[in-house]
């Protein structure tokens, strides 16, 4: 087994959440979106990079039980991908049902409009 340090953008993604996204619902509404440790661990894996800084994983599938915050987490990741890339990226978010896709879109819209991202993200 090797003790090589895994290179990841996970910390940058977690910092983006805390610095740019406010929680939009519940008892923590209006507070920075600080990720739990399990979410940070997941992002460390999903955002691994090679020694040249290129992402290791093109696609990542994560299973999370109901009621654990998949929709706001997904919305935050979509916003991260939207504003952290170069050029004018297109970010797709898919769901099994149109209603669920609307929930994720609603979270992303509220997060973008009610926090530091409001000057960077516009609805089309």
Contact call for residues 4 and 50 (beta carbons, < 8 A): no
pLDDT at 46 (0 to 100): 94
Residue 122's SS3 state is coil
Q: How far apart are CA 17 and CA 6, in angstroms?
A: 21
What backbone torsions phi and psi does residue 8 show, to the nearest 5 degrees?
Answer: -150, 155
pLDDT at 2 (0 to 100): 53
Q: How far apart are CA 68 and CA 89, in angstroms?
A: 28
Mean pLDDT of the chain, nearest integer: 88
76-to-16, 35, 52 alpha-carbon distances in Å:
9, 11, 26
Q: How far apart are CA 109 and CA 69, in angstroms?
A: 16
Average pLDDT over residues 35-45: 94
Q: What is the four-CA torsion angle of 38, 40, 42, 46, rounded to 10 degrees?
A: 180
Q: What is the pLDDT of residues 68-112, one digit of tens each?
A: 888 999 999 999 998 887 677 777 777 788 888 889 889 999 999
């Amino acid at each position: 087994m090797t003790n090589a340090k895994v290179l990841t953008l996970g910390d940058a993604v977690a910092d983006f959440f805390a610095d740019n996204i406010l929680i939009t619902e519940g008892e923590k509404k209006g507070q920075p979106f600080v990720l739990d440790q399990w979410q940070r661990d997941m992002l460390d894996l999903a955002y691994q990079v090679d020694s040249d800084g290129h992402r290791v994983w093109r696609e990542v599938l994560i299973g999370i039980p109901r009621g654990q915050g998949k929709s706001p987490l997904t919305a935050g990741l979509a916003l991260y991908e939207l504003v952290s890339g170069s050029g004018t990226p297109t970010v797709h978010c898919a769901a099994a049902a149109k209603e669920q896709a609307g929930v994720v879109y609603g979270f992303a819209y509220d997060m973008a409009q009610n926090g530091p991202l409001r000057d960077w993200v516009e609805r089309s």
